[in-house]
Each structure stands twice: as structure tokens, then as C-alpha cells.
A and B are shown apart, each in its own frame.
Chain A
């Protein structure tokens, strides 16, 4: 184990961890950023999605050393000065969750999508989000929430 520097949500941390340790465990257990969830450990469900230098990655499959010197954004980093991110607001408005366990990963995946495509069609939303599982089955609401967030940022 060794101390590695990593920037999370704009804040610098030095974390003692093994190089091969999943970024998820560092975020969730060592930095107590528990909004990032373990769902499968094999990159198949998207619950652990975070942004690494703006790109969505599965933090369960990302080695900690791969995040060294890079900027990680987690769900805790989306709210700005007490104002929810448009996607967070849209998920609330559409009530696009039930148990909420997939929600962080969904919102981060959608953040990445809207970062590269400001006005996606429903088909583009479905394609971009297909790697994220909502076992409660709120998919139609999530699509509606992403659409709503896209529209609200267009207006803004």
C-alpha cells in the first residue's frame, strides 16, 4: 500500500491504498463518499459510475492508480452552493427512482451524456444509459428525467 494523490470533487486527497485497489473502495470506504455504490463489481450495472476527467467510468473496474493525478467527480460533487444539479432536480421532478440505489450512477452517466450531447433524442438516451441497471424498473422515468434536464439546461 502507498499514499496516492487524487482530486475528488475539486478537493485534493492523499489516500493510502494498494495500486490495484478499485477506485470504488477508495471513494466509498476510505473517503466516505458513499453516494457511489457497489452493484456488481464487474462493470455490468453502472451503480458505481463516476466521472474521471469528465469521462464516465465504472469505479469498480478502475484501478486506484489509474485515478492518480486525475479529477474524479462523484454524486457528492454535483450540487453547487446548495443548488441541485439540473439532473438531480429532474430526477426529483420525475420521481425517477424507487429504492434509489442506482440513482447516483444513473445521474453520473446522464451527466456525461449531456456533457457530450446537449439535446439527446430518446434513442440516444437509451443507448447511452443501457449499461446502467435499475432493478426497480424506473427506466421510462429516467429517460423522462434526462430529457427534462436537457430541456432545462437549454433554456438556462
Chain B
């Protein structure tokens, strides 16, 4: 139950900080003058600092230890669980409910989750970094155990018996001797359960799980197949207007001139200009678009680099990381000098987009100085603080609610659409919904960082790796460490002032670092003349990593079929965020060197499995998404402008790209459950690159992989 900052969480949140707000408001002349009259200016700065701090660590947020903050039982026995985590397709609404049902001994159908409503749930840093399963799971389990113990005590008092004589099951406390029983709702009468939990109460052993650990279906699945679920972009409020934002002609642009005469003539249109923010709100989307088109605008776009210059720029502008000093063990220099063979190679990854199918959306409504915003975000409390800072109101005046959202993949950390909708609603005096277009989503959301990764290594003829030096420029430090036994190593992350607005992405830099490392391992194994699997096993001492490599090799019958010029097999693996992964790809090379991924076999181990079907879905989905980053996805940009902001130009995986996918889930009931939304993506690109090499002899060191 400790609320001390977790170093892993701190690293995640630093990585997730998105540089640069899209908007800064003057909020009208009076507010503007007030802002610069001293006191309030300091106030506004302080609010921003607090906002950043709260996103970084638990900061001043002491998480509640009383059961009532997390769990409520109504008189009819229904259980509401409160959590700041949000559902974006990763299925935690189901997996968390399973864990509560398990520990509370209540039917799964009686459990419902209130998620991501900042007025109702305890503060939370956000849903990212595969943290829900390892942190929120145990927290809710602890509350459920405590609640169960309290219910037993209540019944024991009622019946004048010892608590140890009572049994909790199926949402009831039973006294087996007399067969008396009372439902949880009858015991609590809907009153708050007041108990402060200081220590972790005893959890039910995983081997005795009945509800957790089983493949129960997604709890509200029927709402999705019937179209009844309301995403933010489906919501409306009485009198609601539709908002559109006038987007700049390029990144970092400033507004040079605006002629709004024609737009002003249109009926029922609210026009808002605040600093460089220009937007419209109208009773329907069509009228809002007409108004936007009627605006005559000129932007000044400063000269900026293009994607062709990107990797040179990243290396030339590398800084030293004060937060991530180089990790040095032994002496790489000496080890390389005495190595029997050595390699030095450079790998790159492109900027890519999350492209969640539901674009950013928000619906904002003001009541006086109180603001309510529905929006699809992974960080409701951080967005609440962003809104408070943008409008210079206290955070407690802002309520953010997150309906289950049309995916995120790390792309929905910021409150851009929320701020835009709230700004328009403030002027319009009515609720406003803003839904970004696909082009806006591709252009004005942030990107997965591009990067350059240089690796230098040395090894002995027998396959022992003796030296490893790795420099990652800009893409990030996640999974930068080498999971192999290497005596001499130097590993360093170099942050760069990035040319594009960048932030979190599923797996963070673990994809880039695995691509570089596992490609390099493949190169070393070929240089040593040792089978890539044997080469890795020789250098592994971590049993969990060994286990997934052996499991995937067995499932794929590694080595049975030799690679040919038309067909190649490649292997990759590693671990990150508590999950262990090994991937084998089989590729087919077409006549014009086209690559078709025929089959991907992946072994994954993340401790005790909470929901096998949900986990399998995540692994399959991560593999499918990984195919995009491996083969197609790249953001092209030039002079501050996106060159391919449409699905017709930005290629995402489709049905035809679907390989045969085989998943081996290694269930370790003896180990705590870890998150699984991210790590299953990291093995795909290097396994495919290594398979392409096995078939063609071409070593591709840039993601996306472009043969020929």
C-alpha cells in the first residue's frame, strides 16, 4: 500500500511528458490584465508546476487507504469499484472486475467499475506503462479482501458467532452450522465501509482462483457489437454545438493575418479568436465546416527540417541526459580490443503515429466557473490539471470523465481536444463537442519518437559476447539494457530537442531498442557462425527469458526448416515491464523483393495470467500492430508540414497483411501478474528483419524495413 514514488513509474511518466502545449489562451482582455498583475501570474505558474509534478510521480497525492474510496456495496448487493484507470480496449474493465470478484467472493455480474471520473475516483497518474495489472490489480484486491473481512465481521456480530466460523461466497456470508446467510447488501445497507488499510492483507493464492485466471468474456461486450456504447465522439448534451479548430499551415506556425468578415455573416456561428487559437462552433458539423472554410488566414511557418534530414539531425543535436547517466560495467574499450570479432552498426526507427481509430474528441460544458469535460484520454487527472491551468481555475472546479475510448496506444496522454472544446464552450455559452478529423489526428497529435541507435560489440569465437556499447539518440531509454551476460558494457540514452511533438507510444522505446539489439544479436550470431537461437541461449542466465525462447522455438519447430532465398525465418526476444517475450517470424520474399509475413509465433510470459482470452487478444493485437511499424508505417514531413496525413498515404496493417499468428502463453502462477498491453509488440520488427536477412542476405537496419 506504499505510495512512495515508483522508479519505473517515474521513468514512464518522464517519457510520457509531451513537449509543447498546442494552445495558450489570453481569455479576453480582463483575464489577460489580471494574469499580468503579479499574483495570478505566479498562481498560474504554480498550477502548471503542480500539474507537471502530479503527472511525474505520486507527488503530493497520498492515495486513499480507506476501503470506501475504492469500493462501494449498494443495498441490493451490487458492487461499484472506483479507479482512475481507463478502458481503451485493453480489457481492464473486465480483468480488474475479475480480481475484485475473486477476493470479495462475489459474482462477477455484481461488480461494476467507475473509471476515470475525476470527481468520483481516487487520484491516478494515468493508464500507461502496463501499470494497471501490477499496481491497480493488487490495490483493488487488497480493498476487496478487507471488505470481505469486514462483511464477515458484521455477520459475526449479528449472529454472535466467531468470524472464523463464517464463509464468504457468491456475494453472501454463510454460517454453515445453521445454513443462515446474509447478502453483502443486507449486511452493509449501502453504508460506507470504513476501514483504513495499512498493510497488504493476505491475497487468495493464484492456484485457488475461480474467477480471476479464467477467460471470462468482456463484461460489456454486447454494447460494442450493437453500437450502443457511447464513446466521447458519440455523446451529446442539450443545446450542444459542434466545434472546429482552424489549424495552422505548419508546425510552430504563428498567425500572420485573419479575415473573418465572410465567416461572421453566417448565421448561428460562434467565432472565437484567442491569441493564435481560432475556432468556430455551430449547431451542426456542416455549418461549422462552412464557417471554417470562410475564414481567410495567413500563417507564418518557420523553416524546419524534413524527414530526409532526420537521423543526421538527431545525432547532431544530441544532449547528455541528466536523468539517465550512462550505465557502465567493466571496460568496453579493452574488451573490444581483445575480442576475436567485432561489429559496429547503426539502426534507425522512423516517427510513426498511433492512429487510434477514434480520433481525439471532447465534449465540454461550463456552469459558471465549473467545467465538466468528457474526453478520451489515458490521463484524466493530468487533463483536469491541464484544463485548470489553461483556464486559470482551481483543479477542483474541473471534472473530467472518460468514457471507454476508441483505443489510444499511448497516444492519448494530453488534453488538446478537451482544451479546445472548453475554450469554444466558454465563448459560446453552450456545451461544445470537438472531434478531430483523421488529418488533424495525424498532424496535431504527437508522434512516437524517431531514433538512431548505435551498437558496438565484441565477442569470442565460441559465441561469448564480451563487449556491448549502445547509444540511443532520442527514441528513449525503455529496454535499452541488454538482457544477456556481457561483462563489459556502456549504455547511454541521448535526449534530443525533437523536431516534432513527440510522446508516448505502446511499449515506448522498447520497440526501437529491441529492434536494434535483436538485429545486432542476429548479426553477431551469423558472424560467429552459430545458430541465432543457440547463440542467445549461450549468453542468457535469466531463466524466464530462456523459457520463452525455448517455448517459441518448440512451437515454431525452429531449425527444422532452413531458410531459402524465397523464405526466411528470424528470431528475437527480450523482456520489458515484467513481461518476457520471444518471437519467430517466417517471411516470404516475392519476385520484386516484396515481403509477406507468413507466420508469427510468439511466446509470452507475464506472471500469473488474469484472463487468458483477454491476454491472447492483446498479444495477437500487438503482433498485428507491430507488423505496421515493422513494414509500413512512417511519418513523412517537410518544413513543418505533414506529407502523409491520411490512411491512403500512411499505410496501416490490414486484413491482407495478417500472418498466421500462433501464441504460446506461459502461465507462471507463482509470480505476480504483470501488464501485457505493450511488450508483445517489441519482438515483431527484429524477428521480421532477421527473417528477411535469412532469406535474402540483406541486412535491413531501418524501421520500417524496406528491402531492395
A→B interface (CB under 8 Å): 1, 17-18, 21, 25, 28-30, 32-42, 44-45, 47, 74-76, 78-79, 84, 88-89, 91-92, 95, 97-104, 107, 125-127, 129-143
Contact = CB atoms under 8 A, between A and B. Distances in A.
Given A18-B286, A76-B227, A92-B221, A99 B407 contact: yes
A133 B234 CA distance: 19
A41 B437 contact: yes
B617 A95 contact: yes
A87 B636 CA distance: 38
B88 interface: yes
A36 B233 CA distance: 11
Given A29-B242, A99-B406, A135-B357, A40 B647 contact: yes
A132 B89 CA distance: 18
B226 A75 contact: yes
30 contacts: A17-B286, A38-B435, A39-B357, A41-B437, A41-B438, A75-B226, A75-B227, A84-B222, A92-B221, A95-B221, A97-B89, A99-B357, A100-B406, A101-B358, A103-B224, A103-B227, A126-B656, A130-B654, A130-B656, A135-B409, A136-B89, A136-B624, A137-B620, A137-B623, A138-B621, A138-B624, A139-B653, A140-B624, A142-B655, A143-B658
Contact of A34 (B227, B356, B407): B227
Nearest to B436: A38
A136 B438 contact: no
B646 interface: yes
Contact of A25 (B226, B285, B622, B654): B285
Contact of B655 (A1, A28, A33, A129): A129
B321 interface: no
B357 A98 contact: no
A88 B357 contact: no
Interface string B396-436: 00000000111101000000000000000000000000010
B226 A88 contact: yes
Contact of A42 (B228, B234, B648): B648
Contacts of A36: 227
Given A29-B236, A98-B91, A98-B617, 10 more contacts: A33-B227, A35-B226, A39-B358, A84-B222, A92-B221, A99-B358, A101-B356, A130-B655, A138-B621, A141-B620
Interface in B634-687: 646-648, 652-656, 658, 661
A134 B409 CA distance: 13
A21 B234 CA distance: 18
Contacts of B254: none
Which secondary structure characterizes the binding site on chain B? Answer: loop
Interface of B: 88-91, 217-218, 221-231, 233-234, 236, 242, 284-286, 355-359, 404-407, 409, 435, 437-438, 613-614, 617-618, 620-625, 646-648, 652-656, 658, 661
B579 to A, nearest CB: 17
Contact of B620 (A37, A74, A138): A138
Contacts of A129: 655
Nearest to A74: B227
Given A18-B286, A41-B437, A137-B623, A100 B224 contact: yes
B635 to A, nearest CB: 16
A97 B231 CA distance: 15
Contacts of B284: 17, 25, 29-30
B438 A40 contact: yes
A140 B657 CA distance: 11
Nearest to A131: B654
A89 B279 CA distance: 43
A92 B231 contact: no
B469 to A, nearest CB: 35
A98 B225 CA distance: 11
Contacts of A100: 89, 223-225, 229, 404, 406
A104 B227 contact: yes
B547 to A, nearest CB: 25
Contact of A136 (B218, B285, B625, B656): B625
Nearest to A85: B225
A97 B218 CA distance: 10
Contacts of B653: 137, 139
Contact of B621 (A41, A98, A103, A126): A98
B638 to A, nearest CB: 21
